[in-house]
Structure 1
Amino acid sequence: MPRRNRYQFGNLELQKRTKGPDVWIFRYRDRANPAVTRPAITLGTTRDFPSQADARRAAEGLRLQINSGLPLREAVTFQGLLDRYVSEEIELGELAHTTKEVDRSRINSHISPKWGKCLLKDVKPYLVQGWLRKLPVAPKTKGHLRGLMYRLFEKAMLWELTPIERNPMGLVELKGVSKRLRAPRILTEEEFVALLNQLLQPYRSMVLLAGCTGLRISEVLGLRWHSVDFERLVMVVKEGYARSQVTKLKSEYSEDELPLDPDVATILLEWKRLCPESSGDWVFPSPRTTKPYDSSSLRQKMLKPAARRAKIPGSIGWHTLRHSYRAWLDDSGAPLGVQQKLMRHANISTTMNVYGGAFMEAKRKANTSVVQRVLAPNQSK
C-alpha cells in the first residue's frame, strides 16, 4: 500500500557561525527521495530575522511550495502567499521582465509592509479598499496595486491556499484610478525640431524614431536591423530591451507592421553606415558594450539636457515623445481606427474599435502626414 503523503511543516534550525551572524536553516523531507538526508535551505541571518517568529514567517512561502497539492493544516499568512508569488511568478514565471520588476517593487514597497503579517483569510476587501483610498500615491498606482492584489488572490485559489470562489478583490471599488496627477507633456512640432537640433548621432536617430513612430523607448532600444525593411519601407517591432534584458512586448497588439516614412528611412540608413557592429544586430548598440543603451541613463544624461538646451519648458521623458506622436496624429485628422493601429493599442475605446483594421496605405498616409509636418520646416532651413 503506497505511503500517504502528509502535510509537513519543516524544521527551523539556528546554525552557529564562527564569523558573522548565525544563520537560520529550513529543513524538510524530499518526497522524491525520502531516504536522503533532509534538504536544507538557508533563509538568512539573525540580522535579517532577529527572532524565530520572523524566520518562521520567512519560511512560510517555502512550506507552501513543498506541500503543494496537499490540504492545509495551518493558517496561511499573506506573506507566505507573497513569497510563493515571488518565487514562482516573478523569479521563474513567464511575465515580462519589466512587469516582474514592477510587481516586486510594489510588493516590497506597499503590499508586504501593510499585509505581510496578516492571515490570508483576514485580508478583507473593505480593508483593502480603505487602505488604497488613503494611500498617498497617484490614482493610477492605486489601480495597479488593486490589480496586483486581485492577481495574488487568483493565485491563492489556484494553489488551494483559499477556497475557490469569487475573487474578493473584485469587490474593491476605487474612483478615478485612470486619472493622472498631471496631464502628460505634449511637445509642439517646433519644440520637437528644436530638440532634434540639439542632438548628435545616435541620439538624434533614437529621438527621431520615437517621435515619428510612437515607439516606446524599450522598443526603440530593442529594434534590430533585420526588423527594418528599407525596400518595403516597413518595420516590425518584435521585442523590447529594458534593464539590460530583452523583454516581451506589452501585448500581442504591440507586434505589428509599421510604416517607415521615406525621410525617416533615409536618416536611419545614414545612421546604419555609422552604426557599430554588434552580435545582436542592434540598431542602437553602445560602442562600449555592443548592447543597447540603458533608457534611464539616456533620459538623464542625453534627453533632459538636450531639452534644456532647446529651451523646452517643463520636464520631459521618453514617453513624452509617444504622447506627442499620438497628439500629432489626432491633429492631422487621422481616423481613430488608424490611430489605434499606429499606436498599437489593444483598446483605446469602443468608439475607436468600430473602425476595424487599418490598411498599410492608410497607416502610411497618417504617419507621413505627421512626419512631413514635423520635418519639412526643419529641412527648408
Structure 2
Amino acid sequence: MILICIKVSGLCDRYARDGMPERESTSGPYRSYLKRFREEWGDHRLDEMATDIMGIEQWLNGYQTLATPDRTVKGVIIRGRPARPASKKTKQLMKMFVHRLFELAIKWGYLTLQRNPVGLVEIKGKATRVRKLILITVDQWNKIITDPKLAPHVKVMITVAMLLGLRASELLGLRWEDIDLDNLERWVLRVRRSYVDKDVDDTKTPDSEQELPIHDDLRLVLEMWRTEQEPVNGWLFGNIQTGRPFWRGQLQKNHLVPLGNRHGIPHLGWHAFRHTYRAMMRELEIPLEM
C-alpha cells in the first residue's frame, strides 16, 4: 500500500466533500470546528501531525471561543465579548471531531496507523460551565411577556418555548397540522420535525419526537394567534417574505438580545426558556421525559 502524504488542509477538503454529516443541525457546528481546525493545522503535513500528540493536546486544552465585536441593532448597542477559555465540554467536542477526522484519514489511506493518536489526548480541567446558566425568574417573565416593544410573533414563540420547553429548531419546525385545537377532550401538540437553516429534518433525538398536552392558557394563545396571523405555507411561525419559518439567528439577534437587555437578562437566547422549563419540572419533581 502506497501512503499518500498530504497536508491537513487536504484532509479537511476531503472531509467537507465526503465526510460531512447530512443533518444541518450537526453539520453547522462541524463546519465551524473544521474552520478552526484548518486555521491551526492546515499547513502541517498530516503524517507529522499524527505524531505530535502533545501538540494536539496543548492546542485542545488551550482552545478558546472567538471574540465578537460590538454591534448596533435598531439603535441599541450590543457589546461584544472577548475571547475566553472554552468549557471542558467544548474542548471534548472538538477532540471528538478531530478524532473523527483521523479515523477517516486512516480509512481513506492517508495514514497507516493501528490506533487513532487522538485517543491518547487528555482534556484537563473540571467540567464547569463557562457561561452562567440563564434561568428566567417570575418577575423577569412578567416583564418580558408584557414588553410593549416585543413583536407579536416572538411573544407567541417564547410563550410556547417557556410552557413546553421546546428547542428553537423544534419550535420553528411546528406546523398548524401538528396542533389539535379542535379536539375538546384532549388538546395536544405533536413535535415531529426540526427546522435549521432552511432545512427540515428529524428532531435532534428520537425521544424529542413526542406528543405534548396543551394547557388552557396556551390553547388561548394559539387560538388567538391562528385568528390574527394568516398562515404561511402551513408553518406556525412562517415569514411572509420568505414563505419559510423565521431564521433563529435573526430572531435572537434582533429580538431576544435587545429584549433581555431591557430587562436585565444579558445574552438572552432560546435555551434560556428551555432551561427554565426543565428547572421548573425538576423543582416540581415531574419527569422530564414522559
Root-mean-square deviation (Å): 2.1
How far apart in 2 are the matches of 1:286 and 1:155?
40
Separation in structure 2 between the aligned mates of residue 233 and residue 165 of structure 1, nearest angstrom? 56
CA distance in structure 2 between the aligned counterparts of 1:119 and 1:200, rounded to whole angstroms: 52
CA distance in 2, matches of 1:307, 1:136: 25
Answering whether residue 197 of structure 2 is matched by residue 243 of structure 1, we say: yes
State the 4+ residue runs in structure 1 displaced beyond 4 angstroms: none
Q: Secondary structure in 1 aligned to 2:40?
A: helix
Q: 1:332 aligns with which of 278, 284, 288?
A: 284
Mean Cα deviation higher: 202-211 or 289-298: 289-298
Q: Could you say if the C-alpha distance between residues 189 and 242 of structure 1 is closer, same or farther in structure 2, counting changes exceeding 3 Å?
A: same
Which residue among 247, 254, 262 is the counterpart of 1:294?
A: 247
Corresponding residue of 2:208? 254
TM-score by length of 1: 0.64
| Structure 2 length-normalised TM | 0.82
Structure 2 spans left out of the alignment, 5+ residues: 66-85
Residue number among 144, 156, 159 corresponding to 1:208 in the alignment: 159
In the other structure, the counterpart of 2:24 is 97
Cα-to-partner distance string for 1:188-216 (whole Å, 9 max, x where unaligned):
12211221111352221101001111111
Deviation at 1:169, TM superposition (A): 1.4
- The answer to whether the 8 A contact 2:252-2:270 is kept is yes
Say whether the 8 Å CA contact 2:3–2:112 is kept in structure 1.
no
* Corresponding position of 2:60: 132
Are the counterparts in 1 of residues 3 and 109 from structure 2 also a CA contact under 8 Å? no
- Answering whether residue 178 of structure 2 is matched by residue 227 of structure 1, we say yes
Change in 2 beyond 3 A, CA 1:195/1:97:
same
Instruction: Check the 8 A contact 1:97/1:248 in 2, yes or no.
Output: no
Cα distance between partner residues in 2 of 1:154 and 1:74: 15
Equivalent pairs: percent with the same residue?
31
* Deviation string, structure 1 residues 23-58 (Cα, Å, up to 9, x no partner): xxxxxxxxxxxxxxxxxxxxxxxxxxxxxxxxxxxx
Residues 276 and 285 in structure 1, CA contact (< 8 A), matched pair in contact too: no
Q: Which has the larger radius of gyration?
A: 1
State the shift of 1:254 in Å. Answer: 1.9
Counterpart-to-counterpart distance in 2, 1:242 and 1:120: 33
Q: Distance in 2 between matches of 1:283 and 1:269?
A: 11
Say if 1:215 and 1:239 are closer, same or farther in 2 by CA, change over 3 A: same
Q: What is the CA-CA distance between 1:112 and the residue it aligns to?
A: 0.8
Q: Residues 143 and 178 of structure 1 are in contact (CA less than 8 Å); yes or no, is this contact kept in structure 2?
A: no
The DSSP-based 3-state class of the residue aligned with 1:276 is coil
* Contact map agreement 1:143 1:177 (CA 8 A) in 2: no
Q: 1:87 aligns with which of 11, 17, 28?
A: 17
CA distance in 1 between partners of 2:189 and 2:113 (Å): 45
Q: Is the 8 A contact 1:149 1:169 kept in 2?
A: yes
* 1:1-381 superposed matches below 5 A: 71-90=1-20, 93-94=21-22, 96-108=23-35, 110-123=36-49, 124-137=52-65, 138-139=86-87, 140-163=89-112, 165-176=114-125, 178-198=127-147, 199-230=150-181, 231=183, 232-279=186-233, 281-309=234-262, 311-334=263-286, 338-339=287-288, 341=289, 358=290
Aligned residue type for 1:316: L
**Residues 118-171 of structure 1, C-alpha deviation per residue, up to 9 Å, x if partnerless?**
222222332211111123341233222111101111222332332363322122
SS at match of 2:245: coil
SS in 1 for 2:30: helix
1: CA distance, partners of 2:155 / 2:280: 19
**Larger relative contact order (CA 8 Å, sep ≥ 6):** 2
CA offset digits 1:244-296 (Å, max 9, x no partner): 332442222222222222221221122112222222x1001112222111112
Cα 1:177–1:226 shift into 2, 3 Å = farther
Q: Structure 1 residues 89, 258: CA separation in 2 closer, same or farther (over 3 Å shift)?
A: farther
Unaligned runs of 5+ in 1: 1-70, 342-357, 359-381
